[in-house]
Chains A and B, each alone.
Chain A
Amino acid sequence: MTTIDRLVGAGVDRIDGPAKVRGTAPYAFEQDPGEPIAHLAVVQSTVNRGRISRLDATRAEAMPGVLAVLTPASAPRLAEGLSSDLPVLQSLDVHYQGQVVAAVVAETSEIAAAAIGAVVVEYAAEEPDVVLSTDRADLYAPEQLMAGFDTDSVIGDVDGALAAAAVTIDATYETPTQHNNPIEMHTSMARWDGDSLTMWDANQGPHNIVNDLAKGFGLDRGQVRIISPYVGGAFGSKAFPHPNQMLAAMAARVVGRTVVFELTRPQMFTLVGHRTPTIQRVRLGADADGRLTAISHEVVEHTSKISEFAEQTATPTRVLYAAENRRTTHRLARLDVPPPTIMRAPGETPGMFALESAMDELASALGIDPVELRIRNEPTEDPERHVPWSSRHLVECLRTGAERFGWAGRDLRPRMRTEGRWLIGTGVASATYPTRRRKAQCRISVDGRGGTAPVRYLVEIDGSDIGTGAWTALSQIAADALGVAMDAVELHIGDSRLPRAGGAGGSTGLASWGSAIVLTARDLRRRLDDEFGGQVPADGVTVDGGIEGEGPHAKTHSMHAFGAHFVEVRVDADSGEVRVPRATSVYDAGTVVNAKTGRSQFIGGFSMGVSMALHEETLTDPRLGHYVNHDLAEYHVATNADIGELDISWLDHPDELANELGLKGIGEIGITGAAAAVANAYWHATGLRVRDLPITPDKYFRELGLT
């Protein structure tokens, strides 16, 4: 075999780029099922809780072009055992506002949209219960948190240590409901052939969609095929099935032809989950030198009446800093809201806002530089599991970032710098996110082509590219592992017929799929060497391989990515408007497989953190129970104009214990801590500590006592 330079680490252009730019990469809505497509539109409940008292679809059914109207009375029965909001149209009960209560299938999307207006629905409704607070009597401790984390952790005597501490901070931070809004709305196109279902679908892992469809329609898993080669962005809402997949499959079965269901933008705010709001009380105790003696992080958040999604908000507090006495707790309220779900770094994103804001408040109270405060509390081992780190370079991130940003000589005092009407400040926060991997299977075939044509390697794995660059990164990994050039690799991902793998989520994609590819490639090379003298036999070779899940060091070591953000904030003294002209982020993320798409991931994560700090908030009407701002004109996401100069870099420290590639995963680390860095800089600029996100201009006047 030829020896070539290592591709892993290089900034290789996206191999799917040309097709995407030309519009020839088919997203779910653009797939050709080979027959005319019918369109689905849904009627959604206008109350949060109650029961449908009347539902009349007669007029809609009579409209020309309408193929069927599905209601709880007429929709096919799904098998028992589906959870959350997946048993669509199976009951007259309403559990949240926006729940699908009827669906119209029609020849065109326009007819379907017109017909839903002709369906009459009345409800026997009860008052909505949608307001989260810390004094609710019904707060409860879930059995465990998302991703299997313990609900609480208690070590030592936190209250005693707080009472004895030289300096304490006791502050409550709030983050609002937020919604995933990838550019591509969730889309599902279903086609039945007998009892076999094919679905072209926008998701984060085709295999994750199979089970519930198989269960609901009483099929074997092999009778369900999910195809998702290209996905137009995803931050968690596309990780698991939602009503859209069930509805498309149901409707296609009823009308006997392919049906597509593309959510509208407003439906993104009700049908595919959200990030829970949080109320977090953080208490820190430290000695006069700033060494933490106690950390307490108590979280109150919500879930829905029909599902339990317990966001692991305080889990970063279990790993970030040393302290002998520690406590983290999570309590939930079950509200009349749609089921919450994953949104980029669930847990770390809201949790790090609270912890890293509190650290800034502590630094200020102590008169210690906030970078130095973090360095003083660097733990030598995982402070709760008491195992060594697989690798941890947070201090180097902080020091490198401080150098690149120009942190030295910073005045600790707030509201000391102005330029015209701008109040200027700088802030810092750490970043952390767990390094994990999941079970993944892989198949690599090599075709000898009779010994004449160039050797080609077919790499098959049900990985998923949600816009991250996985198509390219996995091709780089495969080429290196096989010792060939990238154009000798033909990668197949995004299809549940391919060898099973977990989805793109939890920053586990490349760690899992990449490791599976590396091990399978090694196996193939070994076989070629051992059995065929290093030559590809004329009729080729196929090898199946993969990984079973976590690596051998996961139990004995604590594995996390780290990072540090440095941010400059400018606040208009007249209006309270906030700008972020520049930021530096340095990451300890192990191997970065593709320097170009990796950088984009870091930029995207950090920008989403700025967006969280300054803009994103879904507003709930407490009396009417609905999400009031349900489109992108009113649910504000940072625009290009809101993101300044970003200086992104990473340390060159592969984590040899984490996985075959030494990578830590980069999809989520960028957003963690970012909002705190902005809020801390805002405080440094203004002297105002806004503890409830987002930091909108009204809060400037509130904190000044002018409202």
Chain B
Amino acid sequence: MREFRYEQPPDVAGAVALVAGAPDGAFLGGGTNLVDLMKLGVATPDLLVDVRELTSREITDLPDGGVRIGAGVPNADLAADRRVRERFSVLAQALLAGASGQLRNRATTGGNLLQRTRCGYFTDVTKPCNKRLPGSGCGALEGVHRNHAILGQTLDGPGTCVATHPSDMAVAMLALDAVVRVLGPDGERAVPLAELHRLPGEDPSRDTTLRHGELITAIDLPPLGFPSRYRKARDRASFAFALVSVAAALRVEDGVVREARLALGGVAHTPWRALTAERALVGGPATEDAFAAAAAEELEAATPLRDNGFKVPLARNLVVRTLADLTEGSR
């Protein structure tokens, strides 16, 4: 573990300035992931700027019926918020399906979005990993990869990476068209969540499109107005990352799908917005056959590895079941 400096500046602007000026500096939120990675030698910041008390811990109503979630809101508080439970139940369900009570108390909303992959090769500094050490290779490609990506991987070349994004919350927010508010050295900007995380491409070391020194200050959720649901399949009943998860929202009228939101977790380097399936669903009948056809269309792009092919039928089944449950619920 590398020695580091710890700073608690008075405001977010000061925090941004500190990290922007330190090439090896990092923001510290709840620390539930970063501190682990520091202990393992995977993350080696020489400066930690604690923003937990600086970013907002408030959830506020937006004029359009949406909500703004301060980046410092603990996951547990977000899951318990009445507005979230009533208007965005997919988000509350996703949060409660993640981690443990202790971790949810500690983890922040902003930090949750920036979790790094739990790939065992990434978290072991003695093993090859292009994400941790570009050019060292991908240990998982031919190694232990039962819970790795089936979509959007980089399967050859120096950028090879088959890791998944571990967050449940981000999958739900992606389905909700969340917008991330970011403060950087050059001022504020708004980033649609769909553009925050990136596929490994040629450079798996970069999880997101954020620039060094940029800090997530809040997440905006636009109003939804129809039922939503989160379903997570995992190896044990609690405290396990998703094998596959599904965040879905569906507006059905007279047996016809009018609006559909669908995102998958545990299948890619990013939370995966299933746009192909959404297009297939809208205007079609709200039937299990139609749901299965839409899921199959989405999963046509899947390129499973030696040992994770089960994620394809698992994802298909979970999509069908989640959409069917939503349809049932809206009758």
Contacts and interface: CB of A to CB of B under 8 A. Distances in A.
A and B are partners in one complex rather than unrelated chains? yes
B1 A113 contact: yes
Contacts of B236: 614-615, 636, 638-639, 641-642
Interface in A609-653: 614-615, 619, 621-624, 626, 628-630, 633-634, 636, 638-642
A642 B237 contact: yes
A630 B143 CA distance: 15
Contacts of A186: none
Interface stretch (B53-61, B153-161, B187-195, B306-314): B306-314
A168 to B, nearest CB: 32
A626 B143 CA distance: 10
A452 interface: no
Contact of B317 (A113, A114, A575): A575
Interface in B253-300: none
Nearest to A702: B310
Nearest to A572: B233
B1 A697 contact: no
A122 interface: no
Residues of A contacting B: mostly: loop
B144 interface: yes
Contact of A706 (B3, B118, B127, B313): B313
A45 to B, nearest CB: 9
A591 B267 CA distance: 53
Contacts of B124: 626, 628, 630
A623 B234 contact: no
Interface stretch (B74-82, B178-186, B238-246): B238-246
B235 A615 contact: yes
A372 interface: no
B331 interface: no
A693 B121 CA distance: 23
Given A114-B3, A623-B143, A642 B310 contact: no
A701 B313 CA distance: 7
A46 B126 contact: yes
Contacts of A191: none
Contacts of B314: 574-576, 697, 701
Contacts of A238: none
A117 B1 contact: yes
B318 to A, nearest CB: 6
B313 to A, nearest CB: 4
A591 B40 CA distance: 48
Given A697-B235, A697-B310, A619 B144 contact: yes
Interface string A667-697: 0000000000000000000000000000011
Given A621-B143, A697-B233, A707 B310 contact: yes
A526 interface: no
Nearest to A699: B310
Most buried by A among B120, B235, B313: B235
B310 A706 contact: yes
A697 B120 contact: no
Given A576-B233, A642-B238, A698-B308, 9 more contacts: A110-B1, A421-B321, A579-B237, A614-B236, A621-B144, A626-B126, A633-B239, A634-B120, A697-B235
Instruction: Identify the 8 closest CB pairs spanning chains A and B, nearest first.
Output: A641-B237, A701-B310, A575-B233, A707-B309, A641-B238, A698-B310, A574-B317, A46-B126
Interface of B: 1-3, 39, 41, 118, 120-121, 124, 126-128, 139, 142-144, 146, 233-241, 243-244, 307-310, 312-314, 317-318, 320-321
Interface of A: 46, 110, 113-114, 117, 421, 572, 574-577, 579, 614-615, 619, 621-624, 626, 628-630, 633-634, 636, 638-642, 696-698, 700-702, 704, 706-707
